[in-house]
Amino acid sequence: MVITGKCACAKVQYQVSAELIDFSHCHCSICRKIHGAAFASWGGIARDKFTYLSGEDSIKSYAFSENSDSIFCSNCSSTLLVDYKPDKEMLYVAMGAVDGNVNCPPGFHEFVGSKAPWFEISDDLPQYNAAIDAD
Ligand SMILES: [Zn+2]
Ligand SMILES: [Zn+2]
């Protein structure tokens, strides 16, 4: 299966020639801020299966921690990836930028301890409660 994705302005397009290995909904304050949303959904993929199809020169990255970069389109600001650099095996694609439907492994919520107080999780997926905060 081939997964494709693109940013809002479609300058940056990518493909992943493999299935998702991991599927998480992250409630940490960093993910909330870089998405401007209640939480961020991430698909874990094998790093060596990811390739840019276009727009690689439009990409910017922001180091939100010593080890982690958020990668986004400099034209439209869509978040596309998180690169947790110590992990040489995996990359995490922002699920909101993925095209169409894809097969997802069972999802889970993480960093629920940092959840937006105005958002209620209303599904039965596992919740991991550690807190991580940008501020
Ligand atoms: Zn864009
Ligand atoms: Zn997060």
Q: Is it the case that residue 135 has pLDDT exceeding 60?
A: no
Residue 122 forms part of a structural domain: no
Q: Is it the case that residue 132 has pLDDT exceeding 80?
A: no
Asked if residues 59 and 73 have their Cβ atoms less than 8 Å apart, the reply is yes
Asked if residues 31 and 68 have their Cβ atoms less than 8 Å apart, the reply is no
What's residue 133's pLDDT?
A: 64
Measure 125 CA to ligand 1 centroid, in angstroms. Answer: 32
What's residue 130's pLDDT?
A: 73
What's residue 14's pLDDT?
A: 98
Residue 131 forms part of a structural domain: no
Domain count within the chain: 1
What's residue 50's pLDDT?
A: 98
Ligand nearest to the CA of 24: 2
**Bridge-partner residues for 93, per DSSP?**
43, 81
Interacting residues of 47 by C-beta distance below 8 A, sequence separation 6+: 87, 88, 89, 90, 91
Residue 102 forms part of a structural domain: yes
Residue 132 forms part of a structural domain: no
Ligand nearest to the CA of 78: 1
Q: In angstroms, how far is the first alpha carbon of the chain from the final one? A: 39
What is the C-alpha separation between 127 and 109, in angstroms, rounded? 5
pLDDT digits (tens, 9 = 90+) for 5-26: 999 999 999 999 999 999 999 9
Measure 25 CA to ligand 2 centroid, in angstroms. Answer: 8
Range of the domain at 12: 3-114
Residue 36 forms part of a structural domain: yes
pLDDT digits (tens, 9 = 90+) for 72-129: 999 999 999 999 999 999 999 999 999 999 999 999 999 999 999 999 999 999 999 8
Q: How confident is the model at residue 134 (pLDDT cuts 50, 70, 90)?
A: low
We report the CATH number of the domain holding residue 61 as 2.170.150.70
The mean pLDDT of 21-41, rounded to a whole number, is 96
Q: How far is CA 116 from CA 23, 78, 133, 135, in A?
A: 20, 21, 11, 13
Residue 27: name the closest of 127, 97, 95, 100 by CA.
Answer: 127
Ligand nearest to the CA of 76: 1
Measure 128 CA to ligand 1 centroid, in angstroms. Answer: 32
Ligand nearest to the CA of 132: 2
Residue 126 forms part of a structural domain: no
Global pTM reads 0.92
Which H/E stretch holds residue 15?
strand 13-16
